[in-house]
Amino acid sequence: MKNILLAVTGGIAAYKAIDLTSKLTQADYNVRVMLTDHAQEFVTPLAFQAIGRNPVYTSTFREHNPEEIQHVALGDWADAIVVAPATANTIAKLANGIADDMVTSTLLATETPKFIAPAMNVHMYENKRTQHNLATLSSDGYYFLEPGEGFLACGYVAKGRMEEPLQIVERLNQYFKNNTSATKNSRFNGMQALVTAGPTIEELDPVRYLSNRSSGKMGYALAESLAQRGATVTLISGPTHLTPPKNVEVIQVESAQQMFEAVKTRFDKMDIVFKSAAVSDYAPTELLEHKLKKRQGDLTVTFKRTPDILKYLGEHKDKQFLVGFAAETQNIESYAQKKLKSKNADVIIANNVGDRTIGFSSDDNAYTMYYKNGETISLGKHKKVILAEHILDSLETRWK
The pLDDT tens digits of the residues spanning 248-291 come to: 999 999 999 999 999 999 999 999 999 999 999 999 998 888 88
CA–chain centroid gap for 240, Å, is 12
Q: Is the pLDDT of residue 183 over 70?
A: no
Confidence tier at 184 by pLDDT (50, 70, 90):
low
- Taking the C-alpha atoms of residue 392 and residue 108, their distance in angstroms, rounded to an integer, is 33
- Crossing angle for the helix pair 384-398 and 165-178, to the nearest 10 degrees: 30
Q: What mean pLDDT comes out for the span 155-173? A: 86
Q: State the Cα–Cα distance between residues 74 and 80, nearest whole angstrom.
A: 11
The whole-angstrom separation of Cα 275 and Cα 6 is 37
- Give the model's pLDDT for residue 359: 58
Pick the residue with more confidence: 53 or 362? 53
Task: Please name the residues in contact with 167: beta carbons below 8 A apart, sequence gap of 6 or more.
Answer: 145, 383, 386
Cβ neighbours of residue 293 closer than 8 Å, sequence gap 6 or more: none
User: Which residues does the annotation place in the binding site for CTP?
Assistant: 281, 291, 307-310, 325, 339, 343
Residue 117 and residue 115: Cα distance in Å, rounded? 7
* pLDDT at residue 322 is higher than 90: yes
Whole-angstrom distance, CA of residue 150 vs CA of residue 157? 5
Q: Under DSSP, is residue 383 helix (H, G, I), strand (E, B) or coil?
A: strand
Give 243's DSSP letter: P
Mean residue pLDDT of the chain comes to: 89
Average pLDDT, stretch 53-72?
Answer: 81
Sign of CA dihedral 320, 326, 332, 338: negative
Binding-site residue set: 281, 291, 307-310, 325, 339, 343
Q: Which of 329, 326, 334 is nearest to 354 (CA)?
A: 329
pLDDT of residue 320: 95
Q: Determine the average pLDDT of the residues in 108-113.
A: 92
Determine the straight-line distance between the first and last CA of the chain, rounded to whole angstroms. Answer: 34
223 compared with 65, residue with greater pLDDT: 223
Checking DSSP bridges between strand 209-210 and strand 202-203, what pairing results, if any?
A: antiparallel
Per-residue model confidence (pLDDT) at position 356: 66
CA atoms of 155 and 30, how far apart (whole Å): 35
3-class SS at 248?
strand
What's the pLDDT tens digit per position in 223-248?
999 998 889 999 999 999 888 888 89
From the DSSP assignment, how many helices (H) and strands (E) are in the chain?
Answer: 13, 20
Active site residue 17: no
Classify each residue of 103-129 as buried b or exposed e, where b means 16 or more C-beta atoms within 10 Å of its C-beta.
Answer: bbbbbebbebbbbbbbbbbbebbeeee
For residue 165, say if its preceding peptide bond is cis, omega within 30 degrees of 0.
no
Distance CA(212)–CA(210), nearest Å, equals 7
pLDDT(360) > 70: no
What type of residue is 331? N
Smallest Cα–Cα separation from 125: which of 83, 159, 77, 150? 159
Q: Which residue has the higher pLDDT, 397 or 93?
A: 93
Candidate list 72, 153, 154, 207, residue with the active-site label: 154
pLDDT, mean of residues 69-76? 86
- The closest alpha carbon to 192, from 271, 109, 284, 293, belongs to 271
Query: Residue 385: is its pLDDT beyond 80?
Result: yes
